Structure 1
């Protein structure tokens, strides 16, 4: 079994190739061609942390993947990153372990950012007038970076919880060429942007329905486990187009689940991202619609990104 570090993985993987592989993975998942066991979740309330174990096999692939991903949100105060983890790639023909990817959560962050890019390509309005980001962490940075090929818009409004975190994000975004507005008001983000990405581990709604402009697209990636929430259920229910990475998973947890469980949203209104990408379900129809992509993270993304990383690192 080969062992590859985060540095080796980051230096080897081709993000554009990985994005195309993820598109194919989403499509295969929605067509029923991926084996995805139930997700295991752990919550560590005393440490403000959580962990999930995900695994998947794309039918026909010569590898399958098991991933452990952690998020401990008090870590920055200890000088540690919030997210970590690892992935194991195994042979689908013999069951032998092929590689341990010691990515420290980097591949999960990358595949989530690339999923955000894919969702924005499919659902964003034709003219993005302003980008809004909720959060200032590593995922908030990656989401902005990977939106750059999607739109020429370089105006971003960023919400964070502390002035220092916002100052650090401003420096990062300006380095990418953005004009940056920072704020402690989520409402200001909503009123300034028509392409919004939410990236926080919040357990209470941050965005309200009345703040959202007509034609806005929202990609929600923070609510990836039970109890997490960034959007009020009324906002979710009011969206014209509701896209889930997995209808089954988003009905259990994620932004869509809150609206479904509150009786504000019928599950029949939901469509899967893979069906939109394949042209089997309708996405945005005009620039007045509010669209929402709920990305809770599906294990097929891990299987796909891990295979890309393994093959790139091994020179296959």
Structure 2
């Protein structure tokens, strides 16, 4: 038996943000309709190395595609010359359980997370949003902005990060993609003067204060993806409409996990899962003044849907190499 192996460059060559937003939105819709099997991601914690490892299986029943992602998060890796996040995705045959393809999931994780943020903003942000704010200047900031540019026509992008150098690098790399000015700001508060705010940091202490956020803002909270992480002032969650990607995962490791554990909010304060909004089962934004928050933990359905698209395109183009298993 042989399995198709695809490296990162091959994955990159066949995936684009526009196409991925289509498959990710479809995956969320199936999730909202209850047509997926997806246990919450499981974690191993390597406290001595400030890292963790996660396994993420999913089965999209409507499309009959299944697989699992294995992914790490090690914030100290850049000092070793390695990415903070590295991932491997295995596509499986639902019929036989045999592996069909093994591919790099590092870039795929970045683009599918961006696609989820763009899709959330499509349904939750004001249609006339003109200013985007980015807190964080890493890979996730890049794909989040790329996805938002698929949906909106901003006039200004504000960005801040731990260092001005990282922001200037981001601005240089993104100048050909963004049709508008990308401006460095020296504080998170200045970046919060926006219509759509995206936070992509690994912080465990809130960095966005409630009184910095104006009425009508939409927030993509991307950074909190493990127990104890939070980027937003709990007071902000209290006065916002909260939409999570998956209820079970969010309660455990999303932006809401710390405010829930400290009883600032309850599970009843969570309005919906994104898939329920996309499927029309629950409303999204209902006024121009309400603040909406998308709590993104990252779902295995996003990975499997994207990986399946990559696999089909790679086969069509004759990419990859067959590896004998047995």
Confirm or deny a common fold (TM above 0.5): yes
1:63 aligns with 2:68: no
Is the CA contact (8 Å cut-off) linking 2:254 and 2:297 kept in structure 1?
A: yes
What's 2:140 paired with?
139
- CA-based RMSD of the aligned residues comes to 1.6
- Give how far 1:175 is off: 3.0
Report the alpha carbon displacement of residue 142 of structure 1 after superposing the two structures with TM.
Answer: 1.0
Correspondence 1:120 to 2:121: yes
2:314 is matched with which residue?
313
- TM value normalised by structure 1: 0.94
Structure 1 gap ranges (5+): none
Q: CA deviation at 1:14?
A: 4.5
Partner of 1:297: 298
In the TM superposition, residue 56 of structure 1 has moved relative to its aligned partner by 0.4
SS at structure 1 position matched to 2:297: coil
- C-alpha distance in 2 between matches for 1:218 and 1:14: 24
Report the 3-state secondary structure (helix = DSSP H, G, I; strand = E; otherwise coil) of the residue aligned with 1:109. helix
Say which SS state the counterpart of residue 50 (structure 1) adopts.
Answer: strand
Task: Map Cα deviations across residues 17-65 of structure 1 (whole Å, 9 max, x no partner).
Answer: 3322211211211222211123111233333322211000011433311
Match of 1:266 in 2: 266
Query: Which deviates more from structure 2 when the two are superposed, residues 202-211 or residues 39-48?
Result: 39-48
Aligned positions, number: 313
Distance 1:44 1:204 in 2: 21
Give CA-to-partner distance per residue, 1:65-106, whole Å, 9 cap, x none: 110112222222333222211100010001111000124x11
CA contact (8 A) 1:68 1:85 kept: yes
- Matched residue, 1:160: 161
Does the aligned pair in 1 maintain the 2:134–2:157 contact within 8 Å? yes
Q: Deviations over 1:214-237 (max 9, x none)?
A: 110000111111121111211111
Q: Give the one of 83, 87, 103 matched to 2:85.
A: 83
Secondary structure at 1:10's aligned position in 2?
helix
> Which runs of 5 or more structure 2 residues have no equivalent in the other structure?
318-326
> Superposed, which structure 2 residues align to 1:279-294 within 5 Å?
279-294=280-295
Which moves more between the two structures, 249-258 or 203-212?
249-258
- Partner-residue secondary structure (3-state), 1:203: coil
Partner of 2:174: 173
Cα 1:247/1:61, change in 2 over 3 Å:
same
- The answer to whether the aligner puts 1:52 opposite 2:18 as a matched pair is no
Q: Is the 8 A contact 1:62 1:93 kept in 2?
A: no
